Amino acid sequence: MKVDQAAFDAGQLAERLAQGYYAHLAAISVAADPRASQLAPRTLSGHTVPIGTVKRNDGTEHAFHFKLYLSRAGTDAFLASELQQVWLAGSLLKLGDTLAQHQYFDRAPELELVRHLRNGIAHGNRFRIDNPANLAKFPAHNREAWVKSDTKAVFEITTAVQGQSVLFDYMGAGDVLDVLMSVGLYLIRMGNGDPLRP
């Protein structure tokens, strides 16, 4: 029995989002390999190229040229750049919204860090510090986080980040993964009633 099931569930979500990025990168890497076209579906009768499909709510399918878009994953610089960001941006939005449903639990600094990262993503990938006085009451940093880089890089939200881009100016992909994993560990430990700090 969990001490705090909501915290445990939110922690698992954070961990799954980090793991999803690894799967996302693995798929992008495979797609960028010239041999990937060998994995394309066969060309169906009535079509001139292999197609992929995306389901619509009404049960019909939206079709696309499978090999063309598979190759673009590795050759289109704009698309490659967007693919690097889209999973992380979505993860921060999803996790931030889940934490907000629980008022960011105990408002630990790493949870507050997610709040600011999420809000920055939602405001065009730019930090917007609307109430600087709240930073003193609810600091946002990874100083005590469970997972950090080998250099123990610290990320702290201050008024100096106002207007700065979140991804990938303030934080790189690996830094965001460190935050997701730290939040996951923190909240799972909270859910289990374990000590919250290393």
Within a domain: residue 63?
no
Query: Is residue 181, in this structure, part of any structural domain at all?
Result: yes
Q: Which domain holds residue 82?
A: 5-31+78-192
45 inside domain = no
Total structural domains in the chain?
A: 1
Query: What is the reported pLDDT for 34?
Result: 87
Contacts of 186 (CB under 8 A, 6+ apart): 11, 108, 110, 111, 145, 146, 196
Please tell me the predicted confidence (pLDDT) of residue 74.
Answer: 79
Residue 122 lies in a domain: yes
For residue 143, tell me if it sits in a domain: yes
106 lies in a domain? Answer: yes
Question: What's the predicted TM-score (pTM) here?
Answer: 0.92
Residue 75, pLDDT score: 86
Enumerate residue ranges in the chain where pLDDT < 50.
none
What pLDDT does residue 165 have? 97
Question: Nearest-CA neighbor of 92 among 189, 9, 39, 166?
Answer: 166
Quote the pLDDT of residue 8.
98
pLDDT at 80: 83
Q: What is the pLDDT of residue 41?
A: 92
Q: How far is CA 23 from the centre of its chain?
A: 12
Instruction: Judge whether 71 lies within some domain.
Output: no
Q: Is residue 166 part of a domain?
A: yes
CA distances from 176 to 91, 149, 180, 195 (A): 10, 11, 6, 23
pLDDT value of position 198 = 72
Q: pLDDT tens across 56-91, in order?
A: 999 999 999 999 999 898 788 898 889 889 999 999
